[in-house]
Structures are given as C-alpha cells and as structure tokens.
Amino acid sequence: MATTVEDTSSTIPAAPISLPEGPWKQIPGGVTAAKGFKASGMYAGLRVSGKKPDLALITCDVDATAAGAFTTNVVAAAPVVYCKKMLEMSKTVRAVLINAGQANAATGDAGYQDVLDSVVTLARLLKLKPEEVLIESTGVIGQRIKKGALLQALPTLVNMLSDSVNGGDAAAVAITTTDLVSKSVAIESQVGGTPIRVGGIAKGSGMIHPNMA
Amino acid sequence: TMLGVVTTDALVESDVWRKMVKVAVNRSFNQITVDGDTSTNDTVIALASGLSGSPAISSLNCPEALQLQACLDSVMQGLAKSIAWDGEGATCLIEVTVTGTETEAEAAKIARSVASSSLVKAAVYGRDPNWGRIAAAAGYAGVSFEMDSLRISLGDILLMECGQPLPFDRLGASKYLKKAGEVHGTVEIDIRVGGGLGRGKAWGCDLSYDYVKINAEYTT
C-alpha cells in the first residue's frame, strides 16, 4: 500500500518556478523548509485510476498560527465548510490532511461526516485535538471520498512524516489531480535581521479561476 | 481546483498573519485563471511556526511585517504562476501587466479580464498578435479609462499607442508567440491605461484543443 517517500516524488516532474526579484534566495524544498514542519505523501488507493500518490499530510511540531483563504463559490465543498468553522474558532493549527481524487463537494451531510471521521481518526493518531487538524480535498465534484481506504492509510502516512525535502516533494505530488507537474517552492530571507524561511506547495490545472476570501 | 499550503518559521501574531495572507492571496492565486471556472474547493492554508527566533510581528506597519509580506507574496506568486503555466492543454504561460490605473485593485481587475478572455487565449494559441481582442478585454473589465491613453505591447513589440493601432511586424509578433509555445515559455502582454500609479498582474495560459479533450474525458 504505502509508497516510500523517495518513490513518490518521481511520479511527475516538478514545475519550473519563477519568483519575482527580491531580498531572498530560493532554497530546496517546499512546505518542510521552514522550521517545525514535516510532510508525507503516499498512494492510498483513492484515485480513480493510476498509482500516483493521492494522500498528503503536513504537520507542525508546535501550535502554528493559522490563516486560510477559501473559495467564495456558494456550493462550497465539505472540507471548505469545515476549515472555515475551525479557523473561526481557533487561531492555531497543527496538521493539514489533503486527499486527491474526490472533491467531497455537493456530497451533503454524508460528505461532511466523512470530513469529521477523517479528522477525528488522524487527530487520535497524532495525539491532537480534532479542531487542530484541517483538511483539503480535490478531484471529481459530487463524489464522496473513499473513506475506508483513506482511514486505513493514515497510520502509514503518519509514520512517513519527514522534515526532509523529499517529504515536502512527496506531499506536492500527492495533492495533484490533472496536473502535469508538481508545484513546490521555498525561499530564505531575513526578518528583523533573523533568517526566516517561507515555503509552499500547490496544485491546480483545471477549474482555475480562484476568487478566495 | 487549486489547493495550497504555505509554511513559515517567522513569528507573527494571528490577526496580522491573517491580513498578510489575504493580501498575498489577492496578489497571487486570486490573479490566475485557466478556464474561468471557480472551484467548490479552492483553499490556501498558511501556517507560521515562529521557530526561527525572528522578532515577533504584531503590526502590519513595521519593517519586519513588510519584509515578511514581500516573502509571502513571492512564494505565493511563484506557486500561482506555476498553476497557470500548467493549465490544462496549455502551451505557454500568459503574463498580463497593467499600469496607469488609480489603484492596484483596478489594475489587477483589468489584468485578470485580459488573462481570462477566451478570445485572447485562443489568439495566443493561434499565434495571432490580436491586439483588438486584448483592447476589448481591457475595455470590458469594468474599470473606466481614457481610450486615447491605451497602450498595448506584446513582448517588446508595440501594437497600440495613445489608443491608435500601430503598424508592426506581424510576422515577428507571431514568431514571438510561436517561440513561447515551443518552449512552454511566457507570453508577456503589457497594457498601460493612463497616468496613475496603480499596477497589477494576472497570469493565464493559452486555450488549446486539448483543454476540451481533457475535460470531455475527465467526467463524473
């Protein structure tokens, strides 16, 4: 079931990233470049076809100050509704789970319950409170997530967590859908004379006209 | 759908962080377009661990906040551009820069209107330097400007100045588009609409037959 971290980042090439000029330098990695963050990505059998990794996890060793921007589409997916609720209640987060294959959108109460079940199970494994865990989903709209396969994969996903570049790259691949490349970048700069790092991963290739708030 | 997770080890207060992220999202992910369809799932989560030991940022107006904002804008723009670059069926990235408006928001609105235009996207795929479509898309953006201030260039080829179409090397302009498509590079469209200080960018991609093919097959 699980794919090693090294294998996953070889499933699709990385996108060329062009950054604006500024007082920073690009460094390897993405979400794991900044201190305190770990990530993992694996194939959990969620995708309709193919063996590309499809489940990713990003964690922070401490309570991370959290912000979110979400679609203003009225038909918001269950994970969007859940995350907005959590960020209204709490200023910090410890983990983000991301599944690819099914969007869990237009799935009604059952879809929202799938979000809760996934978050509660992962929180228990990470010894966190459920409200410290957020979730993002992407894939076919109208389809519920393959919850059985997802929950079964969580222990392996947690064990694979790594603060290495590979950990971040594996997560970048696992969140893709029709993307031809994975998207990941990190920079190092200074704030008040102290070196800091900012990094990230993203996905997206179709149904792209974000109006997030 | 676009998803993003951004992390930093800077130390920043919650309300300030949320405002910073909103600004950065508006300068990046909210300025990309591939097909004009806003997803049900678009989400960006941004997390700050504070483990770098940097000075605590508790106000938007201090130098440290401006430094962190610039870094956040940069990372999000890098990721946002890579999404547009990888648009379904795309052969090239389209970067639209608009200057001369009164505000940043107006420039961003015109830029996104041009980047979203199916006719502009199809012209780029057809390697057609169709300045008329670019002007039209700028004109219906919902931002008023003087027609005789309109200036449009494609790469370093000037197509329109003071609202007047110019004679230009059509073959050279088409070659510019063709080359960008061959290397999956970037087509730069620069538009000036007046003398204001507002400036904004948007990113999109050309519209190819493959976009229809991919989405006709990626069914429920």
A204: left (phi over 0), alpha (psi -120 to 50) or beta: left
> Exposure of A19 by Cβ count < 10 A (0-12 exposed, 13-18 middle, 19+ buried)?
middle
Residue B63 touches partner A, C-beta closer than 8 Å: yes
Give the pLDDT confidence score for residue B217 in this predicted structure.
80
Which pLDDT value is given to residue B218? 67
3-state helix, strand, coil in chain B (%, to 5): 45, 25, 35
Query: Does the distance separating the beta carbons of A196 and B54 come in below 8 Å?
Result: yes
Contact B78 A16 (CB under 8 A): no
Q: What percent of chain B has pLDDT over 90?
A: 97
pLDDT at B219: 64
Here the ipTM equals: 0.95
pLDDT digits (tens, 9 = 90+) for A67-124: 999 999 999 999 999 999 999 999 999 999 999 999 999 999 999 999 999 999 999 9
Report DSSP state, residue A49. Answer: S
φ/ψ of A137, rounded to 5, equals: -135, 150
Nearest-CA neighbor of B158 among B145, B147, B172, B144? B172
Q: pLDDT digits over B4-42, tens only?
A: 999 999 999 999 999 999 999 999 999 999 999 999 999
Average pLDDT, integer, range B198-220: 90
Instruction: Note which residues in 77-106 of chain B have CB less than 8 A from chain A.
Output: 77-88
CB contact under 8 A, A93 and B80: no
CA A196/CA B91 separation, integer angstroms: 36
Per-residue confidence (pLDDT) for residue B110, from 0 to 100:
98
Give the residue from chain A lying closest to B65, CA to CA.
Answer: A191
